[in-house]
Amino acid sequence: MKILVIGDSCKDIFRYGKVDRLAPEAPIPIIKPEKETTNPGMAGNVVANLEALGAEIDFITNKKEISKIRYVCSKYNHLLLRVDENDKCERILIDYIPQSNYDAVVISDYCKGFLHEEDIEYISTKFRNIPVFLDTKKKLGGWAYNIDFIKINWDEYLNNKEILNNNRALSSKVISTRGKHGCNYKGKNYPTIDVPVKDVSGAGDTFLSGLVIEYLKSNSIERAIEFAQECTTVVVQKSGVSII
């Protein structure tokens, strides 16, 4: 499978350390760094998961590097602090999107400035002959009509609830993930297995990747949802941003 991924990416950095006392100046924990891990994040994590699942990827993303640095207590895997560096990036050069024999297009929009609404509308119109998947933090609207499947989390769904309740064309495309409560699609809930969760960082990217791969294999969105949830169940049991 050959897939075009478009979206803003970052570097996910996890700094783990020992925490055994509070600072004398203020009631905040003192962390003594022990190890550090670095992974591609946001759309980069989608790419890493799609490649791990066997796809060939073309990737269009920002050149300016965004970093998300997380400080974590090693003993309890408790997130103490997240620092986001260079949180905005340049806008996509829309004229440079290649036309190739792709099996699907994945738009991973973290709203860092790389994609505007009209850019997403242009992309989805350009590739009308293949499935286009969207994961976005934007407020949904008419610009998303040509998208085939829209994956959002539960908070994003609630933020769009009024729009979706009055727009069947959009609501019929939405797959809303709900963590331990599974996910909803077209009024049906797809439950997930209850597992011990260590870290949900990047879980949405893994869900999206599993969804795309299985849909291209089976042409069944129901089977794709079930497989995506299996993938997510695996990664949330690991620390940090994990690849399926």
Dihedral sign for Cα atoms in the order 205, 216, 57, 96: negative
**pLDDT for 198:** 77
pLDDT in tens, 152-189: 999 999 999 999 999 999 999 999 999 889 999 999 99
pLDDT at 242 over 80: no
- Per-residue pLDDT reduced to its tens digit, 91-124: 999 988 888 899 999 999 999 999 999 999 999 9
pLDDT tens-digit map of 37-80: 999 999 999 999 999 999 999 999 999 999 999 999 999 889 99
CA distances from 126 to 99, 104, 130, 131, 174 (A): 9, 12, 10, 11, 21
Half-sphere exposure (Cβ direction) of 115: Cα atoms closer than 13 Å: 29
What's the pLDDT at 201? Answer: 75
Q: Give residue for tokens 């590097």.
A: 65
The pLDDT tens digits of the residues spanning 23-34 come to 999 999 999 999
165-182 burial, b at 16+ Cβ within 10 Å, e below that, comes to eebeebbebbbbbbeeeb
| Strand-pair partners of 121 | none
Q: How confident is the model at residue 244 (pLDDT cuts 50, 70, 90)?
A: confident
- Could you tell me the CA-to-CA distances from 230 to 173, 225, 241 in Å, in that order? 21, 9, 16
Strands 183-185 and 149-153: unpaired
* Residue 151: strand pairing partners: 135, 175
Question: Shortest CA distance to 53 belongs to which of 196, 236, 232, 193?
Answer: 232
Angle at CA of residue 32, ends 41 and 78, nearest 5°: 55
Q: What is the distance between the alpha carbons of residues 236 and 229, in angstroms, rounded to a whole number?
A: 11
